[in-house]
Structures are given as C-alpha cells and as structure tokens.
Structure 1
Amino acid sequence: MSSREEFPAALQEERRSAGRGTWLLLGLVLVMGFLGGAGAGYGLARGAWSVPGAVASRLPEPVAAWLPRRPPPTVSALEEYAFELLSPEAKSGEATLKVRLLDRRIAKTVADALIFASRLDMAPDGMPTMTGKLRPEASTEPGVYAFRANLSMEGRWRLSLAAKVPGETGTVQDQLSLKAVE
C-alpha cells in the first residue's frame, strides 16, 4: 500500500510544480500588461501621443471625452503678416505704388521690415512673362513702402513682395493685384 500512497503524492507534487509555472507566467503577463498600459496612459496624458480620429469616433462618448484631443494646427507668426496696396488702381506708364505691411495680430503697420524681393508682372491677365520695371522709393509715412513702377500697358498686374521682419524667422511673402488704367 505504500506504493499506492506514494503514487498519488508524486502526481500531486507534479501538478503543483506545473501550476506554479502557469501562475508565474500569468503573473508576468499581467505585470507587463500593467506596465504597458501605464506607459500608454502616461504618454496620452502628457500629450505625447494622440488617438487617431477614426479610432476616437468609434469609442463610447465618455471614453472619447477622456482621451486627449489632437491640438489644432498652429498658425505660423509669419502668416499673420500681410501686404496691402494703398490704391488698387494706378495710371498706366510711370506710377508710384504704395503698400503697407500689416501685423494682423495687433492691427498695426510694420515700419522696419526689409523688402528684399519684388516683381511686377501681368500674370492676372495670363501674361506672366510680361514684366514691368520696379524700383524702391523713399516713403514719408512709417510702415508704407513705395515703389516706382513702369506699368507699360493697361490691365491687371501682380506685385510680388518678400520681406524680412525683425524678430521673426523666415520670410513674409505676398502677391497683390492692381489694375493699370488709362
């Protein structure tokens, strides 16, 4: 009888050792899952990650409201600057074109910009190769930039400008349309 009593005890010991390995593996999987979830939650909370809109739209509303939303695209500071023609019409031939550079954030003109590129052509009338001579002139008004232009014929002209604004990185670029009349 002692052999019969030993056999079930040995079987029970084998079951215990197999059960311990299973429990250890399950515990390891749970710990790894917890650490992965905590890391993902930390990244979401910091805003380092965002949930794609296609995924967020399929989640229940309370869960989607809890998730961080993707921030709206930022507007470059240079996009807040714009050139503006003081007069959209000019006489054909020799004319003085005046423009001002506006900072739309504060609704004021920028007086100390460096305009380094300018071009005058008839692209609005389908003739981009028809160019006019353009040279800078002194202006008496702060924030207003003047150019002496040769508008050789009547029609619509495009004035392309590029400027550097102190304190900003990059280039402000704009294209303005004006009309040359007789």
Structure 2
Amino acid sequence: MTFIPTLRALVAALPLVVAALPAVADIKNYEFQLTQHEFKQGNGVVITVKLIDKRSGKPVPDAVIFAKRIDMEPEGMATMASPVQLLPASETGAYSFKTDLVMEGGWRLSLGAKVQGETGTLENKLILKALP
C-alpha cells in the first residue's frame, strides 16, 4: 500500500472509530433541582434539592458540596443572607439544608459541588419563595 491510499482508508474509518467511543460525561450534564419551590417563612426551614443526571433523569449520590449560600437576590437584596447548614442525606441523590428564611419573598440558593468521577465544578442558583 502506498501512503495516499492508506491515509484515505484511515480517514474513511475515522467516523466509525469515533462512533464506537463511549460518550464522555460533562459537568453540564448535572443539575440541582428543588424538591419544592415555596416554603413557610421562619427559622429552621429545611430545603431539599436533588442532584440529577440530565441524560438519564436519575439522582446522583455522593456529591461533595463545598459552597452554599442563601440570599434575597431575587428581591434586589443580595446582601440579605442567612446561614446554611448541610444536613445528613435522607435519600440517594437528595441534599438537605437548614436555614432561616427571615423575610417573605424570593430567595436564591447558590450551590457549588464536585460530582464523583467528573472534572469541573457544578454551580447552580435555585430560586425559591418564602411565604408568610
């Protein structure tokens, strides 16, 4: 075989090789979702989110949540924040947080996490509402 025909054969086979490779996961394939969007205003409110693999819709366990913040940015008061405490997991792929929703209105829960086996950082901002 000469160089040109060999090169042509390799180029022709390339789509078959690429198609046979396993799909590569991406941190963008994951997201946190609130299990409910409205909460009663007050102290000791428990907010639960699920970490979902968007490709399969299945919950993802064992993420390492390293950043968490809740504030009233949806109401234009980003400096109005409350402490957030991560609670022990109650079910696979569920992550619960205890906080004080001291005012009624819109609140933003910001989360940063590492997903096991993935590179990159997952960052989500979730909007919820505190009702009187």
TM-score of the pair, normalised by structure 2: 0.79
Partner of 1:124: 74
CA deviation profile, 1:51-110 (whole Å, cap 9, x unmatched): xxxxxxxxxxxxxxxxxxxxxxxx971111110000101111120000010011121111
State the distance in 1 between where 2:127 and 2:99 align: 14
Q: C-alpha displacement at 1:142, in angstroms?
A: 1.0
TM-score (norm 1): 0.58
Q: Secondary structure at the match of 1:140?
A: coil
Percent of residue pairs identical: 46
2:48 corresponds to 1:98: yes
Please give the alpha-carbon distance, in whole angstroms, between the structure 2 residues aligned to 1:78 and 1:124. 26
What amino acid does structure 1 have at the position aligned with 2:42? G
Structure with greater contact order relative to length (CA < 8 Å, sep ≥ 6): 2
CA RMSD in angstroms, aligned pairs only: 1.8
Question: CA separation in 2, counterparts of 1:131 and 1:180?
Answer: 13
Deviation readout 1:26-73 (Å, 9 max, x if unpaired): xxxxxxxxxxxx9xxx9xxx6xxxxxxxxxxxxxxxxxxxxxxxxxxx
Q: Which amino acid aligns with 1:126?
A: G
Match of 1:113 in 2: 63
- Greater helix content: 1
- Residue deviations 1:124-179 (CA, integer Å, cap 9, x gap): 01111100111111132111000001111000000000100011011000000000
Unmatched runs of 5 consecutive residues or more in structure 1: 1-37, 47-74
Equivalent in the alignment of 1:146: 96
* One-letter identity of the residue aligned with 2:34: L
CA radius of gyration, larger in:
1
**AA of the residue aligned to 1:105:** R
